[in-house]
């Protein structure tokens, strides 16, 4: 019974950590991993999605529609910011860092002034279930499947669709893409908006599980960058394996030694991976398959 208790708890904790890492990083995988923009306001896009979801649900919208509102609101904010600010900072790495950091501070402090230090949350749907005498949240148990579905949809979008082909072409060689008739400005705008919308979806999905506060983005930002960096150059290929590896390490260390040691172990793992595999987990897979 003790073995089953620890096995169920460990698996649930691993699945929870995996979904958290994937969903934290999926929007950043588009903006940073594909566009090369170090978006330090990623956590604030997540916060925006969570706040709009909570406010929409409290206004009477069903939770799925409230989540759609949260996702679309972050995407819209992303489109506006890309048009007004980010577009002028492509290929200017340090300037984009400073600009998005400033956006992050403005958004956090602005939300604190407008909405106060916290927002009354919404109830987690679907209740709970028991395994081995342990109670687990049904909703959080569903999040790993949602994360995998989103990864599959994103991979299909960027590999199988016309938009994805144009997007990858514009990111890899903008001048050649322009010569072939691709509107790179429109592609950049749509891609950044997509990354912001995915961040908003993350906030919407986690809104029923945590208190909405102006600083909630900080709970996601470290894990998102860690996961994307470990993924390597091909984030679409490396995001799921890196989240699985990091989630397993974090879950094991957290289970035996507490949350602080789990976070430290996560960061130490990243340092080792970057030192041993500079091209990340995706580089390891591509090298193993013989890709150049």
Residue 160 lies in a domain: yes
Tell me the C-alpha distance between 207 and 24, whole Å: 13
Residue 267 lies in a domain: no
Residue 129 lies in a domain: yes
Residue 47 lies in a domain: yes
Give the domain range for residue 117: 22-215
Residue 283 lies in a domain: no
Contact (Cβ atoms closer than 8 angstroms) between residue 56 and residue 70: yes
Residue 239 lies in a domain: no
pLDDT for res 205 = 95
The residue assigned the tokens 């960027």 is: 158
pLDDT for res 292 = 46
Q: Is 117 helix (H, G, I), strand (E, B) or coil?
A: coil
Tell me the C-alpha distance between 142 and 253, whole Å: 23
Q: What is the number of domains present in the chain?
A: 1
Residues lower than pLDDT 70 in the chain? 1-6, 132-133, 285-292
Spell out the residues 6+ positions from residue 199 whose beta carbon is closer than 8 angstroms to its own.
27, 28, 42, 45, 46, 49, 74, 78
> pTM for this structure?
0.91
Residue 256 lies in a domain: no
pLDDT for res 116 = 86
Residue 169 lies in a domain: yes
């Amino acid at each position: 019974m003790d073995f089953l208790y620890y096995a169920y708890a460990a698996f649930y904790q691993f699945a929870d950590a995996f979904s958290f890492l994937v969903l934290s990083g999926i929007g950043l995988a588009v903006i940073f991993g594909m566009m090369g923009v170090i978006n330090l306001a990623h956590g604030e896009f997540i916060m925006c999605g969570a706040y709009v979801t909570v406010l929409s649900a409290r206004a009477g919208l069903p939770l799925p529609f409230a989540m759609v509102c949260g996702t679309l609101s972050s995407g819209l904010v992303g489109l506006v910011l890309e048009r007004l600010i980010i577009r002028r900072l492509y290929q200017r790495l340090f300037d984009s860092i400073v600009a998005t950091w400033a956006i992050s501070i403005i958004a956090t402090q602005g939300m604190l002034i407008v909405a106060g230090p916290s927002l009354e949350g919404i109830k987690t749907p679907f209740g709970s279930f028991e395994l081995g005498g342990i109670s687990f949240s049904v909703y959080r148990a569903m999040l790993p499947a949602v994360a995998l579905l989103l990864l599959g949809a994103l991979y299909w979008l960027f590999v199988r669709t016309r938009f994805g082909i144009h997007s990858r072409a514009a990111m890899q060689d903008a001048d050649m893409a322009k010569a072939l008739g691709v509107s790179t400005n429109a592609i950049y705008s749509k891609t950044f908006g997509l990354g912001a919308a995915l961040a908003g979806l993350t906030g919407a999905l986690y809104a029923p599980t945590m208190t909405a506060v102006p600083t909630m983005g900080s709970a996601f930002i470290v894990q998102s960058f860690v996961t994307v960096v470990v993924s390597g150059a091909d984030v679409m290929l490396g995001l799921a394996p890196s989240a699985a590896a990091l989630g397993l390490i974090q879950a094991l260390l957290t289970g035996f030694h507490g949350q602080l040691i789990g976070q430290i172990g996560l960061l130490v793992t990243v340092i080792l991976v970057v030192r041993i595999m500079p091209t990340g987990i995706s580089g390891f897979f591509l090298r193993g398959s013989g890709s150049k």
